[in-house]
Structure 1
Amino acid sequence: MRKWMLVFAAGALGALVSSLAMWLAGRYGLTQAMGVRLAPALSAHWLYPRIVWGGLWGFLFLLPLFGGRWILKSAVLALIVTLVQLFVIYPYTTRYGVAGLELGMLMPLAVYIFAFIWALTAAISLRLA
C-alpha cells in the first residue's frame, strides 16, 4: 500500500511541476516560438485533471523496468504517456487531430518535453522518498 501511495503522490507532484512548466512556457512565449499554439490559463479547472491523471500515470513507476537507471526509466515512461496523449487523447477526445498537429507541427515534441518533466520529477521524488 505504501508503494502505491508513493507512486501516486510522485505522479501527482510530477504533473503539478509539468503543468506549471507548461503554463510558464505558454505565458512567456516558449511554445509559440516553437510554432505550437499551447498557452493554457492557470486555473483549477485546467490543473486538477492533470494532477489526477499524473497520479494515475505514476503507477507506471511500479513496472520493473531498467533497474536503478531512473533517467532512462523516466524517458521511456514519458514516451508511453506521450504516445497515449498523441494517438488516443488528441484524436478521440479533442478537436486537435492525430498527434495534436492542429496546434502545430512540433506539438509531439512539446508533449514529450512536458511528459519528460512529469516523469523526471516523479522519479526524483521517488528516489528522495
Structure 2
Amino acid sequence: MERKGALLATCFCAGLLGGLVYSLTLWAAGFYGFTAAAGVLMTPDFSLPWLYPNLIWGGLWGLVYFPTVASYRHRKHWIRKGLWISLLPALFALLYLYPQVQRQGLLGLELGNFTPLFVLLFHFAWGAATGIFTRMLWGKR
C-alpha cells in the first residue's frame, strides 16, 4: 500500500535536516576560513535567526525532492536524486536571491569570484544529506 502523505512528510523532514547540514557546512567553511581563503565574503554568524530560515527553506526544497521518489518503482538512487535536485535551490540562490534580494550582483559575484562554486558545493551538501536522511527515515518498505 502506497503512503504518499507519509513519504511527503519524510521528504520535508529530510530536507529540513539537509538544511541543517547545509547551514553547518556554510558556517564551518566561513568559520575555518575556507571561503575567505578563496576570496569569498561568506562568513555567517551561527545564530537562530540565521538558522531557522535555512531549515524551513531546506524543508520546502525537500518537497521538491518528493516527486523523484514518490513512485515505488523510482525509489532507488536516493542520494543521486538529491544531488540533482540540489541544483534547483542553487540556481534559485544564484539567479534570484543574490542578485535581486541581497543585491550582490549576478551569481553573487560581488561576494567573490568563487561564490558560484561555493554555493553549488553547499547545496550539494544539502542534496546529499536530503537523500541520505530520506532513505534513513523511510526505511525499507
The CA deviation at 1:63 is 2.0
Determine which of 75, 89, 104 is the counterpart of 2:97.
Answer: 89
Q: What does 1:5-84 correspond to in 2, within 5 Å?
A: 5-64=9-68, 68-84=76-92
Q: Distance in 1 between matches of 2:65 and 2:103?
A: 30
For 1:7, give the aligned amino acid: C
Could you tell me how far apart the structure 1 residues matched to 2:68 and 2:42 are? 34
| Percentage of pairs with the same residue | 41
1:8-44 deviation digits (Å, cap 9, x = unpaired): 1100100011101111110110111122111000001
| TM, length-normalised to structure 2 | 0.86
Task: Compute the displacement of 1:78 (Å).
Answer: 1.4
Q: Unmatched 5+ residue regions in structure 2?
A: none
Cα offset, 1:67, TM superposition: 5.4
**Structure possessing the higher radius of gyration over alpha carbons:** 2
Residue 41 of structure 1 aligns with an amino acid whose one-letter code is D
Q: Please list the CA deviations of residues 75-105 of structure 1 after superposition, one character each: whole Å capped at 9, or x if unmatched.
A: 2111111111100111111121111101001
Q: 1:73 Cα deviation (Å)?
A: 1.3
Is the aligned partner of 1:120 residue 2:128? yes
In structure 2, do the counterparts of structure 1 residues 128 and 9 end up closer, same or farther at CA, with 3 Å as the change threshold?
Answer: same
Partner of 1:4: 8
TM-score when normalising by structure 1: 0.93
Deviation at 1:62, TM superposition (A): 1.3
2:43 is paired with a residue of what secondary structure? coil
Moved over 6 A (4+): none
* Cα deviation, residue 74, structure 1: 2.2
